[in-house]
């Protein structure tokens, strides 16, 4: 079902997101405090009513509908009101600064979220269409957006966050409510890889278009907001507290972390692992009743950053930490603020998600088929950490190898959604790096890792880019080792690291 253009929203339309009906509450929506109420346009001045054409998506090989080709969102300035934490309800204004690499006469954003109320282009109302079937919000600029030209798009929305169920992982992505066993609302967290951010924010929802974010989130008194980026002002407003966060380094949309809970924030000493030894701030958020056993491994994060930055180069963000959640879901590498379930609060998982700050959050994917470039590197970081703690890396590699030999593996570029986060992406991806390290030795391997991060910093990377970089920096013989692990239909032999290093 296509919802007609925005202003006809007043004619009651019943939409369904997942199984949640979204019509009723979209009718009476109070204005956001602090921002002027949007004037209701007289009908004759309203934008023309016509379905807008669907522009070309980015062309991802696993998720072909996501994103818009040529669209480049630079910054998302997001105001969110979470009036009832623990539900899907939210109100928001998203102010996008965008440009393009080709002429665009329609701009199309991924949006699976609440009801759109108003859309503006550089402050002026423009025709728009919320297409719920396609999960797109389309808008028509007054004149086509020219390559390199910048514009600001404002989207005002309210209602219920969308539901995006991930069949493979068996969980809800995006803006997720947490209730107690009796169904009483408690808290919210985000878990958005690969395309959950569109459940609460209109976005160009593909990792090849990373952007910076500013968040202003208002919650009722007693709740605390934790989010990606540096903490800004915190102030009392009519409905509670407003928290501001500034994520000033571009990150993929799925890496935006945001949580609302009764938290205790724990600050730890800064770690000098940023560029040129710059201080990286440390803060973790624990739900009020978090046990000491769950908190304990987070005391190691400073040491983890030292070990990882020794291999990968400077930590790419000015702050790092975790926000712990209680549901039994997988951990996620949300930028500067790992989303860490209680049940995953172990050193090894924290190291893995921290390594993603380089691989995934900074070196971003050009296509979901190449997700092993995230998972293989993050898994290999586990070995590097354990090795630094005195474990035998050969033993860890052998364990991975046996699992793959027993359960089978595939070439590393994924060809289906089911393959994205399978054992091959993680373990074969990690062993590909291990094989490269065995072939070139530690100093060259370290140089390769750091060079790769520098070369592809915020530049979408695909598997051939990595192979090409290996050939340029390490030579054709080493590149062939890596390529064999990437492409071979069968599992290549497990190499041994050179003994004394």
Enumerate binding residues for ligand TRP (CB under 6 A): 169, 191, 193, 329-333, 352-353, 356, 375, 378, 421
* Closest CB 455 distance from Zn ion, rounded Å: 21
Q: Which stretch binds Zn ion (CB under 5 A): 35-43, 96-104, 232-240, 373-381?
A: 373-381
CA-based nearest residue to 99, from 55, 135, 68, 130? 68
Residues 425-484 that bind Zn ion (CB under 5 A): none
Q: Which is nearer to Zn ion, 136 or 356 (CB)?
A: 356
* Closest CB 173 distance from ligand TRP, rounded Å: 6
For residue 465, the partner it binds in ligand TRP, Zn ion, none, with Cβ less than 5 to 8 A by kind, is: none
Q: Give the angle 487-488-491 at the CA atoms, nearest 5°.
A: 130
Q: Which is nearer to ligand TRP, 23 or 342 (CB)?
A: 342
Q: Which is nearer to Zn ion, 132 or 370 (CB)?
A: 370
Rounded Cα distance between 371 and 350, Å, is 19
* Closest CB 414 distance from ligand TRP, rounded Å: 12
Q: Could you tell me the CA-to-CA distances from 10 to 7, 29, 112, 460 in Å, in that order? A: 7, 12, 20, 41
Left if phi > 0, otherwise alpha if psi is -120 to 50, otherwise beta: which for 203? beta
Q: Which is nearer to ligand TRP, 74 or 169 (CB)?
A: 169
Q: Which two tokens stand for residue 154?
A: 């404002």
Rounded Cα distance between 334 and 261, Å, is 17
Rounded Cα distance between 473 and 477, Å, is 11
Q: Which stretch binds Zn ion (CB under 5 A): 17-25, 121-129, 291-299, 371-379?
A: 371-379
* Closest CB 258 distance from ligand TRP, rounded Å: 14
Contacts of 338 (CB under 8 A, 6+ apart): 257, 321, 322, 323, 331, 332, 350, 353, 354
Q: Which is nearer to Zn ion, 60 or 361 (CB)?
A: 361
Q: Which is nearer to Zn ion, 255 or 378 (CB)?
A: 378
- Identify the three-state secondary structure at position 343: helix
* Closest CB 255 distance from Zn ion, rounded Å: 12
Q: Which is nearer to ligand TRP, 18 or 70 (CB)?
A: 18
Task: Give the CA-trace dihedral at 65, 70, 74, 78, to 10 degrees.
Answer: -40
Task: Establish if 155 lies at the interface with Zn ion (CB under 5 A).
Answer: no
Q: Which residues pair with 91 in a beta bridge?
A: 81, 158
* Nearest-CB residue for Zn ion: 378
Q: Which stretch binds Zn ion (CB under 5 A): 165-173, 256-264, 302-310, 368-376?
A: 368-376
Q: Which is nearer to ligand TRP, 157 or 311 (CB)?
A: 311
Select the residue interacting with Zn ion from 166, 284, 375, 422 (CB under 5 A). 375
Q: Which stretch binds Zn ion (CB under 5 A): 148-156, 203-211, 274-282, 370-378?
A: 370-378
Q: At what angle do helices 301-312 and 372-388 cross, to 10 degrees?
A: 110
* Closest CB 343 distance from Zn ion, rounded Å: 16
Rounded Cα distance between 253 and 267, Å, is 26
Q: Which is nearer to Zn ion, 218 or 334 (CB)?
A: 334
Q: Which is nearer to ligand TRP, 243 or 358 (CB)?
A: 358
Phi, psi for 476 (deg, rounded to 5) = -65, -30
Residue the block writes with tokens 């069949």? 167
Rounded Cα distance between 67 and 45, Å, is 31
Task: Establish if 337 lies at the interface with Zn ion (CB under 5 A).
Answer: no
Q: Which residues pair with 225 in a beta bridge?
A: 260
Select the residue interacting with Zn ion from 294, 373, 378, 461 (CB under 5 A). 378
* Closest CB 349 distance from ligand TRP, rounded Å: 8
Contacts of 312 (CB under 8 A, 6+ apart): 355, 358, 359, 381, 449, 450, 453
CB 100 within 8 A of CB 146: yes
For residue 432, the partner it binds in Zn ion, ligand TRP, none, with Cβ less than 5 to 8 A by kind, is: none
Task: Establish if 225 lies at the interface with Zn ion (CB under 5 A).
Answer: no
Q: What is the size of the binding site for Zn ion (CB under 5 A)?
A: 2
* Closest CB 375 distance from Zn ion, rounded Å: 5
Q: Which two tokens stand for residue 419?
A: 């393959």
For residue 209, the partner it binds in ligand TRP, Zn ion, none, with Cβ less than 5 to 8 A by kind, is: none
Q: Which residues pair with 282 in a beta bridge?
A: 268, 320
* Closest CB 188 distance from ligand TRP, rounded Å: 15
Instruction: Give me the residues that bind Zn ion (CB under 5 A), please.
Output: 375, 378
């Amino acid at each position: 079902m296509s919802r007609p253009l925005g202003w006809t929203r007043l004619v009651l339309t019943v939409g369904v997101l997942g199984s949640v009906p979204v019509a009723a509450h979209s009718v009476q929506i109070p204005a956001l405090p602090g921002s002027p109420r949007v004037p209701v346009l007289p009908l004759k001045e309203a934008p023309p009513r016509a379905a807008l054409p669907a522009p070309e998506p980015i062309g991802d090989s696993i998720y072909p509908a996501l994103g818009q080709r040529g669209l480049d969102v630079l910054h998302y300035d997001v105001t969110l009101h979470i009036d009832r934490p623990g539900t899907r309800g939210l109100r928001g204004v998203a102010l996008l600064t965008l440009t393009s690499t080709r002429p665009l006469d329609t701009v199309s954003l991924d949006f699976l979220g609440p009801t759109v109320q108003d859309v503006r282009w550089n402050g002026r109302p423009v025709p728009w269409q919320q297409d719920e079937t396609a999960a797109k919000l389309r808008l028509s600029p007054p004149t086509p957006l020219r390559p390199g030209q910048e514009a600001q798009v404002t989207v005002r929305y309210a209602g219920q966050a969308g539901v995006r169920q991930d069949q493979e992982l068996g969980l809800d992505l995006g803006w997720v409510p947490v209730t107690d066993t009796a169904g009483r609302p408690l808290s919210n967290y985000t878990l958005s890889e690969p395309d959950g951010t569109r459940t609460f924010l209109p976005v160009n929802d593909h990792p090849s278009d990373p952007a910076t974010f500013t968040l202003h989130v208002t919650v009722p008194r007693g709740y605390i907001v934790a989010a990606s980026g540096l903490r800004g002002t915190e102030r009392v407003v009519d409905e509670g507290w407003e928290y501001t966060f500034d994520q000033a380094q571009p990150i993929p949309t799925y890496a935006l972390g945001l949580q609302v809970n009764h938290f205790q924030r724990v600050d730890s000493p800064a770690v000098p692992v940023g560029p040129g030894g710059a201080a990286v701030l440390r803060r973790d958020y624990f739900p009020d009743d978090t046990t000491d056993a769950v908190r304990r491994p987070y005391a190691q994060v400073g040491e983890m950053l030292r070990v990882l930055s020794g291999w990968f180069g400077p930590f790419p963000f000015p702050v790092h930490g975790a926000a712990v959640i209680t549901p039994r879901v997988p951990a996620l590498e949300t930028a500067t603020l790992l989303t860490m379930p209680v049940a995953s609060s172990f050193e090894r998982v924290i190291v893995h998600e921290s390594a993603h700050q380089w691989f995934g959050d900074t070196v971003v994917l050009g296509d979901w088929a190449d997700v092993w470039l995230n998972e293989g590197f993050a898994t290999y970081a586990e070995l590097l950490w354990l090795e630094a703690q005195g474990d035998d890396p050969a033993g860890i590699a052998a364990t991975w190898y046996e699992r793959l030999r027993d359960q089978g593996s595939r070439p590393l570029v994924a060809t289906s959604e089911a393959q994205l986060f399978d054992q091959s992406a993680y373990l074969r991806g990690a062993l590909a790096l291990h094989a490269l390290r065995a072939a070139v030795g530690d100093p060259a391997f370290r140089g390769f890792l750091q060079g790769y991060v520098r070369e592809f910093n915020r530049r979408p990377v695909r598997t051939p880019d990595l192979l090409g970089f290996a050939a340029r920096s390490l030579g054709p013989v080493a590149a062939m080792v890596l390529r064999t692990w990437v492409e071979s239909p069968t599992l290549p032999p497990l190499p041994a690291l050179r003994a004394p290093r």
